[in-house]
Amino acid sequence: MKSLERLQQAIGYVFQDEVLLRQALTHRSAGAQHNERLEFLGDAALNFVVAAELYARFPKVSEGNLSRMRARLVREETLAQVAGEIALADSLILGPGELRSGGARRDSIRADALEAIIGAAYLDGGFAAAQGIVRQLIVPLMTEALGDEELRDPKTRLQEFLQGQGKPLPSYSLVEEKGQAHERRFVARCSVQGVPATDAEAGSRRKAEQQAAQQMLEQLQKSPAGQQRHAG
């Protein structure tokens, strides 16, 4: 398939066993030989390679900022963006339901497939193969600005805000899960002692929790105590 040839050119690695690549591109809706186990492996390899590259490239950056930089580079939104740039969706293997609902456009499916490709490359060509793909696709995105405070994810910023006030950390719960299997929606709740909880809905539990955390943070910053600390 020409799409597989283009994809391998884009990731900078040609598979010896193309069956592994096809499995990495196969969503669970398309059959039993899907990519979820490869995604698990690729996620671990991606996190390690990104951490090692950040450590080597930014010797003066603190551990906290390195962690935030890594989180931004390996998050679903970033991986989906990279997947879009290499036209990964053209090669995805989806079941009929996902095809009808436009699954190839979903960030979660594209991001998961990219991680699965990294995992498949590790099995196909060893650590160097997985490392090469990460260096080709993710390392060019690395800048020290990734660690800036305003770019931290809402859950991290909320936690730091509460710690700064000496308050207990927030808790998160899943309030509702709805929709068909191929287009699930999640409602998450963020709870902080002494203030009304905030709910948010999104296409993944993680996104819903982040949105609920953002709403909570805004609520706390509008309170008299929050405004006083924010001004200081």
- Say if residue 39 carries a ligand binding annotation: yes
Catalytic residue among 53, 107, 115, 124: 115
Rounded CA-CA distance 136/125 in Å is 16
Integer-rounded Cα Rg, in Å, for the chain is 20
- Say if residue 90 carries a ligand binding annotation: no
Amino acid of residue 36: E
Contact 80, 105 (CB under 8 A): no
Is 209 one of the catalytic residues?
Answer: no
Is 90 one of the catalytic residues?
Answer: no
Rounded CA-CA distance 22/231 in Å is 54
The three-state (H, E, C) secondary structure of the chain, written as one string:
CHHHHHHHHHHCCCCCCHHHHHHHCECHHHCCCCCHHHHHHHHHHHHHHHHHHHHHHCCCCCHHHHHHHHHHHHCHHHHHHHHHHCCHHHHCECCHHHHHCCHHHCHHHHHHHHHHHHHHHHHHHCHHHHHHHHHHHCHHHCCHHHHCHHHCCHHHHHHHHHHHCCCCCCEEEEEEEECCHHHCEEEEEEECCCCCCEEEEECCHHHHHHHHHHHHHHHHHHCHHHHHHHHC
Catalytic residue among 43, 98, 107, 124: 43
- Say if residue 115 carries a ligand binding annotation: yes
Residues known to be catalytic: 43, 115
- Give the residue ranges of the annotated binding site for Mg(2+): 39, 112, 115
- Give the residue ranges of the annotated binding site: 39, 112, 115
